[in-house]
Structure 1
Amino acid sequence: MALILVTGSSAGLGLNTAIDLAARGHAVVVHARDSSRRPPEPAAAAWNGILYGDLADLDQVRDVAHQAAHFGRFDTVVHNAGALHHSDAVKVNTIAPYALTALMDKPARLIYLSSSMHRGGSTNLQGLETGAASYGDSKLWVTALALALAHRWPTTTSHAVDPGWVPTRMGGAHAPDDLTAGHQTQLWLATHPDVTPVTGGYWYHKRVQEPDPSAADEDFQARLLAALESHTGIPLHDRL
């Protein structure tokens, strides 16, 4: 049994991921923006815990990390929470995953939600400071974060996942991809004992893909990590 955190798990892909993990007997800690969005418990199990906090607010991100610390070291953290609109996209999709990763003890496995739209993202990091970044920018940056950690933390596996354009609240009712398939890769990466590549993969429906070259560029990764540390004031130490 693994101890697993899934952020943004009040609905959609995050909730589906958390429910399936709990159904398989794992101890699942879920996260929601506030208590009004408490995730419904699966029929066969109860959540191991619930974290609350708005990931668009850095102070609340710090509090979520503090809440998470009460559960000890996680085996897997699935950074699923996402925002589509410019006002929150970079805060929720890039800054929050970085900050939580830097503040929490290193898990055995890290999974970050990306998107095919990362291929249209910009390597100009000015929008990280101003917040004037597109959804595609934020997904390029979180993909680069996932791949950077695969090199920086060799004892922790780190992957990025494109779940597809699925019919969730964010994706819209007419999104063409399969909703069930949208969380199966996360489920597999979180628990399967034999994944190839072991770390540093960009995945779509359990198949490894080539990400945008910028995401794998080590110079860009270094610039991104430096910008995230500068913006948040949170260094990425090699925690436990």
Structure 2
Amino acid sequence: MSRSTTRTALVTGGNRGIGLETCRQLAHAGLDVVLAARDAERGRRAARAVERAGGRVRVEELDVTSRASVTACAGRLAGAGVEIDVLVNNAGVYPTDGFFSLDEATFREALDVNLMGAFHTCQEFVPAMTRRGWGRVVNVSSGLGALTDNVPSPAAYGVSKAALNALTLVVSDAAGPAVKVNAACPGWVRTDMGGSWAPTSVEKGADTVVWLATLPDSGPSGGFFRNRSRIDW
């Protein structure tokens, strides 16, 4: 892949866990990476690991819950001549409160980060993908939001991920066939969020995300995938 045809991927929540591993794997695959993090200093520290492995990475401060922050990030990238070809909506929170003990602030935070964050970034970056005739969007979701498997749970997390799955279908339809928009369930992964006892390594958890981010033009859109296989919504 020559420098002139290198794709650029933006990964939200890229400073740790599945997001950081996704940055590493995408860089290893030859993409330029924009590592987006709410805390820019944490983002810069995380980026060093990608750079040491030979990856090309740019750090951007980005709070996905703020439309102004997303717009400002897009403006800085445009000013630097950076076009986003691949968008990985990975930033997320995992509240575990039961429904009747769930307070409104926690519920709103889950929706703001897990759903509205992807809404903001998709509205900002996907139209340009459609105009250029190529793009990939991966929404990092969860089987805990799958309506066909169970009642979405824990309450705030499950509802927000079920809504993210619905958003995936909406964006896929709006973006057109040249932009592949899919949701990924990484599984229960050993990260700060998943815990040290989780059965899935972070490398395996990021694998389906990276696969969807690098789909060929014949690849699927509007699907929900785990272990590179389609699963029910």
TM > 0.5 between the two? yes
2:62 to 53, 63, 83: 53
Secondary structure, aligned partner of 2:212: helix
Q: 1:201 to 1:8 in 2, by over 3 A?
A: same
Equivalent residue for 1:79? 89
Q: How many residue pairs end up in the alignment?
A: 200
2:76 to 54, 62, 67: 67
1:180-199 alignment to 2 at 5 Å? 180-193=203-216, 196=219, 198-199=220-221
TM-score when normalising by structure 2: 0.78
Q: 1:149 to 1:58 in 2, by over 3 A?
A: closer
Once the two structures are superposed, residues 169-195 of structure 1 have per-residue CA deviations (whole angstroms, 9 ceiling, x without a partner) of: 111111222322100111111123266
Partner Cα separation in structure 2 for residue 67 and residue 101 of structure 1: 17
1:3-22 alignment to 2 at 5 Å? 3-22=8-27
Unaligned runs of 5+ in 1: 123-132, 212-240
1:165–1:171 contact (8 Å) kept in structure 2? yes
The amino acid across from 1:79 in the alignment is N
1:212-223 alignment to 2 at 5 Å? none
2:198 to 175, 178, 189: 175
Deviation of residue 46 (structure 1)?
A: 4.5
Equivalent residue for 1:209? 231
Deviation of residue 55 (structure 1)?
A: 2.5
Unaligned runs of 5+ in 2: 1-5, 96-105, 130-134
1:150 counterpart = 2:172 = yes
Once the two structures are superposed, residues 142-179 of structure 1 have per-residue CA deviations (whole angstroms, 9 ceiling, x without a partner) of: 11111111122213110000000111111111122232
Once the two structures are superposed, residues 168-223 of structure 1 have per-residue CA deviations (whole angstroms, 9 ceiling, x without a partner) of: 11111112223221001111111232664x21110001011111xxxxxxxxxxxx
Partner Cα separation in structure 1 for residue 13 and residue 152 of structure 2: 22
Partner Cα separation in structure 2 for residue 100 and residue 210 of structure 1: 25
- CA RMSD between the two structures: 2.1
The amino acid across from 1:100 in the alignment is T
1:103 counterpart = 2:113 = no
1:2 counterpart = 2:29 = no
2:39–2:61 contact (8 Å) kept in structure 1? yes
The amino acid across from 2:47 in the alignment is P
